[in-house]
Every structure is written in structure tokens, then in C-alpha cells.
């Protein structure tokens, strides 16, 4: 049975320290450029500290509550004792609608670091061992790293463009046939791209330390092969080896240098407006999600299965994808 209670003494409420600095510049063509730095510090992040975590190699006998009470279950003491940081360069490019063109875009170069991905009702820490010869200060500091939502590069662009043809436009505005065929068209698009998230590796757990996970060892410099599909490898799996004794692996939590696939996606649509009468207007829509049908891959297998002393199984392989192209046609009558 899992139980928990608040830590003794005054409860420390979480708060965020935030700071930023931006510069704006008007560019030719009605574009506005914003460049700035954004930072924040999340103080007293809430988490349940596992009071009954064992020591590496100690098994149940090393759990603090086992000797006196025979308790092996997780026992949490809730307090705001963690923190996290975010620092980012943010660039924005905007153009209010001018001559039929609207543009909005942003790019972020950033890094987040913390002990967990978010606040947790129980215990979000991956490593919970107490002090032992291998880790004299315990395992808490080993949880510090990049969260799973950390994306170093992120780009988003959107546009709306009324094509310059037809009545009241620059081109094809002289005859009724030109206006009827070429007028009233509008294109829209949203492009999103970001690099992959950090990969959290796992493997055989010989720690004999209740409440603590384990990682494989890194035994060589990692080569990113970027292979996709069964039998292909996203990274060189021979750079890792399973840990077969009661000790922690060397990879650590969510290493920021080992990331899964990124994403690039363009959603595109074409509209055409038909004026039927003064009261009635018809709108034709052709919309496509992922119009280029670019494959979006899930992350590779991250569990190092011990196969004759090497990492085997689906480790390092990407076997599934998502986000295939979807297209739809629509008509809308406005009156």
C-alpha cells in the first residue's frame, strides 16, 4: 500500500522567477522583427520524497521502514524541494495584412533543465536510492537533466495570402472572364518544425534498490545513424551495454545529446470565394494536413534488453510513424 503525508514544518509554496528582454525592429515590407531572451526559475517544485527507498545492493533490508515495521511499500513525504530552469532565445517575425499577405512566425532556441518533467502527486524522480559507497550523497542529484519535452530548436510559421487576381486586385482585373476564373483565390499555410526530444534509456535492473530505475552503460561515442524501420537503427546500439551488477549505469536521465526524431509539417489550404448574389456567397475549401506527406516517426526503442551481454531487442529501432497526409473538400454557404 502506498501512503503519503506532508513534510514537517512550514509548507513552502512554489513560485516562478521570470525575466526577459526584447528588442523590436521595423523592417521593409511591413515586417516587424522581435528578438529577445526569456528565462525563468521554478522554485520549490512539489514532489513526493520516497522515505522508504533502499540503497543500491541493499534490497529490502536497506529500506528505512523495513527493519522496524516490515514495510516495503512506497512512503511519500510531500514538499517543495526541487527546482527547474528555462532559458531561451526567441525570435518573432510578423506582418499585418498588407496587399493581401499576412505572415506570423516564431523561432525559439532554448534549453530546460530540472529533476522531473512536472509536479507529481507521488514521486516523479527516477532515481531514489539512499547513500551508499557508490553514491555517497544518494541518488537525488542524478535526476537532474533535460525534461522529455525539451526541444532545442522550434520553428512555427503561418501565412494567409489573397492572390492578386480579380476585381480590385493588381492582375486579371480587366475582363469578366479573367475575374471569374482567376479572382477570389486565397492560400493559407502553417509550417511547424522542431528537433527531437531527449531519449530516456532503460535496461535490466540489478540494483536491488527498491524505488530506483537503472540505465545502461555508455561504452563508446554514440553515432547517430538516423535509420528508420525494422532492422534499422536510429543510433549505434553497440555504444551501449547492459549493466549486469548492482550499480547505476553511466547514461543518466534524459541525456540532452541523445534525441529522437524531429518533426517537419506543413498544413496547407486553398479557398475560393464566389459571390452569387448580394446576400449569398459560396466558399470552396481544399485543405490538407501534412500536404507533403512527410513521415513523422515515433521515438526508437529505449529499453536495453540484455542479449548475451549486449543491448538487443527493439533497442534503437523505430518501428512506427504517424501523421499521414489527410485531405478534405468543403463548401460553405454564407448569407
* CA within 13 Å, CB half, 83: 11
Q: What are phi and psi of 323, to 5 degrees?
A: 75, 35
Q: What is the tally of structural domains in the chain?
A: 1
**Residues 317/304, Cβ–Cβ less than 8 Å:** no
Q: Are 264 and 291 in contact (CB under 8 A)?
A: no
Query: Chain-wide mean pLDDT for the chain?
Result: 91
Confidence band, pLDDT 50/70/90 cuts, at residue 120: low
Cell numbers given for 92: 518573432
pLDDT at 185: 87
Q: Is 176 helix (H, G, I), strand (E, B) or coil?
A: helix
Q: Tell me whether residue 291 is exposed, middle or buried, using C-beta atoms within 10 angstroms of its C-beta: 0 to 12, 13 to 18, 19 or more.
A: middle
Does residue 128 register a pLDDT over 70? Answer: yes
Report the pLDDT averaged over residues 288-308: 95
Q: What is the pTM of this model?
A: 0.86
CA angle at 317 for the pair 313 and 319, rounded to the nearest 5°: 105
User: What integer pLDDT is reported at residue 172 of this predicted model?
Assistant: 64
Taking the C-alpha atoms of residue 171 and residue 149, their distance in angstroms, rounded to an integer, is 47
- Range in 81-95, 250-264, 271-285 with the lowest mean pLDDT: 271-285
Instruction: Please tell me what DSSP assigns to residue 179.
Output: H
The secondary structure of residue 69, as a DSSP letter, is H
Residue 39, pLDDT score: 98
Q: For residues 233 and 199, give the distance between their C-alpha atoms in angstroms, rounded to a whole number.
A: 14
C-alpha cell at 317: 529501432
- Partners of 165 in beta bridges: 171
* pLDDT tens digits for range 146-181: 999 999 999 999 999 988 887 667 776 667 767 667
Identify the band that residue 67 occupies on the pLDDT scale cut at 50, 70 and 90: confident
Tens-digit pLDDT profile for residues 233-258: 999 999 999 999 999 999 988 888 99
Percent of all residues in the chain with a pLDDT value above 70, rounded to a whole number: 96
pLDDT for 218: 95
**What's the CA gap between 15 and 11, in Å, rounded?**
13
Helical H segments across 74-175, by residue range: none
Angstrom distance (rounded) from CA 63 to CA 245: 19
> In terms of residue numbers, what domain contains 217?
3-334
Tell me, what DSSP letter sits at residue 277?
Answer: S
> pLDDT band at residue 279, thresholds of 50, 70 and 90?
confident
- Please compute the mean of the pLDDT values over residues 86-108 and round it to a whole number: 94
What proportion of the chain, given as a percentage, has pLDDT over 90? 64
- 110, burial (CB in 10 Å: exposed 0-12, middle 13-18, buried 19+): middle
Residue-wise burial string across 202-230, b where 16 or more C-beta atoms lie within 10 A, e elsewhere: bbbebbbbbbbbbbbbbeeebeeeeebee
- pLDDT score of 44 more than 70: yes
Amino acid at each position: 500500500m502506498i501512503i503519503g503525508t506532508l513534510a514537517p514544518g512550514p509548507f513552502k509554496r512554489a513560485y516562478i522567477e521570470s525575466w526577459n528582454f526584447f528588442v523590436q525592429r521595423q523592417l521593409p515590407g511591413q515586417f516587424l522583427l522581435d528578438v529577445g531572451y526569456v528565462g525563468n526559475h521554478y522554485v520549490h517544485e512539489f514532489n513526493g520524497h520516497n522515505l522508504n527507498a533502499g540503497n543500491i545492493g541493499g534490497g529490502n533490508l536497506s529500506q528505512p521502514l523495513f527493519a522496524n515495521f516490515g514495510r516495503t511499500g512506497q512512503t511519500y513525504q510531500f514538499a517543495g524541494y526541487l527546482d527547474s530552469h528555462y532559458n531561451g532565445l526567441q525570435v518573432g517575425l510578423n506582418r499585418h495584412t498588407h496587399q493581401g499577405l499576412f505572415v506570423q512566425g516564431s523561432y525559439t532556441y532554448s534549453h530546460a533543465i530540472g529533476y522531473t518533467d512536472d509536479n507529481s502527486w507521488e514521486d516523479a524522480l527516477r532515481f531514489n536510492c539512499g547513500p551508499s559507497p557508490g553514491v555517497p550523497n544518494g541518488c537525488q542529484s542524478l535526476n537532474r537533466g533535460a525534461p522529455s519535452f525539451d526541444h532545442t530548436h522550434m520553428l512555427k510559421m503561418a501565412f494567409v495570402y489573397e492572390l492578386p487576381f480579380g476585381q480590385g486586385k493588381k492582375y486579371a482585373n480587366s475582363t469578366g472572364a479573367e475575374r471569374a476564373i482567376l479572382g477570389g483565390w486565397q492560400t493559407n499555410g502553417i509550417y511547424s518544425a522542431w528537433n527531437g526530444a531527449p531519449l530516456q534509456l532503460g535496461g535490466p535492473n540489478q540494483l536491488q534498490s527498491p524505488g530506483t530505475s537503472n540505465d545502461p552503460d555508455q561504452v563508446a561515442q554514440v553515432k547517430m545513424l538516423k535509420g528508420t524501420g525494422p532492422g534499422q537503427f536510429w543510433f549505434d546500439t553497440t555504444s551501449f551495454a547492459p549493466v549486469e551488477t548492482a550499480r547505476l549505469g553511466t547514461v543518466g536521465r534524459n541525456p540532452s545529446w541523445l534525441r529522437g526524431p524531429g518533426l517537419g509539417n506543413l498544413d496547407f489550404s486553398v479557398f475560393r470565394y464566389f459571390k452569387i448574389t448580394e446576400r449569398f456567397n459560396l466558399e470552396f475549401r481544399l485543405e490538407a494536413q501534412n500536404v507533403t506527406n512527410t513521415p513523422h516517426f515515433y521515438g526508437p526503442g529505449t529499453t536495453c534488453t540484455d542479449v548475451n551481454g549486449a543491448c538487443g531487442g527493439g533497442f534503437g529501432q523505430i518501428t512506427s510513424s504517424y501523421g499521414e497526409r489527410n485531405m478534405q473538400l468543403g463548401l460553405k454557404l454564407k448569407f
